[in-house]
Amino acid sequence: MNSKKNIDFKIGEVVVYPKHGVGEIMSIENMEIASIKTLFYVVKMEQAKLTIRVPLDKQLEVGLRKISSKKIVEEVFSILKLKPKIRRIMWSRRAQEYDAKIFSGDPIKIGEVVRDLYRKNSQPEQSYSERQMFQVALERLAREIAAVEKTDYFQATEKIETTLFSK
């Protein structure tokens, strides 16, 4: 997102809101807050029973974006096939880095988290917080891949897990 120009999203368009994941533009509303009229995108988030309103003039700030291209998804799958990068630093520090990657909304960075936190059954047990973080990252990634590939969340999850398991 090098350009600082707002993108015009259409009603019905599938978008990514970095803090919450994949959603759909339901409408564009005009609301008055503190006697200032503002236009908002009304975005229904897919996984949570959540509807958010994003002011048109704040969309860049919050990182609202179109779903990824097929090319980016291919890149994500090549990242998933790589060896995990395990940094020998305290979990709390790694957790902060993983969190930042997940909430960046960047599918490449989320793919790195999924790859790095994935454990085969034969591998040492993960802590509860590692498993939780893996699940959040996996869900984010699967929902975007499902939107790009026009499949459902479960098929996308299966495709990711198959890719991870086959390395």
pLDDT in tens, 6-18: 678 999 999 999 9
- pLDDT for res 4: 54
Q: Per-domain residue ranges for the chain?
A: 14-66, 70-165
Query: How far apart are alpha carbons 17 and 25 in whole angstroms?
Result: 11
String of DSSP letters for 43-70: EEETTTTEEEEEEGGGHHHHT-EEPPPH
Residue 24, SS3 per DSSP: strand
Using a pLDDT cut of 70, give the percent of the chain over it. Answer: 93
pLDDT at residue 43 greater than cutoff 90? yes
- pLDDT for res 65: 94
pLDDT at residue 42 greater than cutoff 90? yes
- Residue 29: what are its φ and ψ, rounded to 5°? -115, 150
pLDDT in tens, 54-103: 999 899 899 999 999 999 999 999 999 999 988 888 989 999 999 999 99
pTM check: above 0.85: yes
Residue of 125, 130, 128, 129 whose CA lies nearest to 114: 130
- pLDDT for res 5: 62
pLDDT at residue 146 greater than cutoff 90? yes
Q: Looking at the domain that runs over 14-66, which CATH code has it been given? A: 2.40.10.170
CA 77, 79, 82, 84 torsion-angle sign? negative
Q: What is the DSSP secondary structure assignment for residue 106, as one 8-state letter? A: -
Residue type at position 36: I
Residue type at position 47: Q
Query: How far apart are alpha carbons 25 and 7 in whole angstroms?
Result: 13
Q: Looking at the domain that runs over 70-165, which CATH code has it been given? A: 1.20.58.1290
- pLDDT for res 3: 46
pLDDT at residue 122 greater than cutoff 80? no
- pLDDT for res 136: 94
Query: Rounded mean pLDDT of 114-127?
Result: 82
Task: Provide the phi-psi class of 63: left if phi over 0, else alpha when psi is between -120 and 50, else beta.
Answer: left
Q: What is the DSSP secondary structure assignment for residue 166, as one 8-state letter? A: T
- Asked if 47 and 36 touch (Cβ cutoff 8 Å), the reply is no
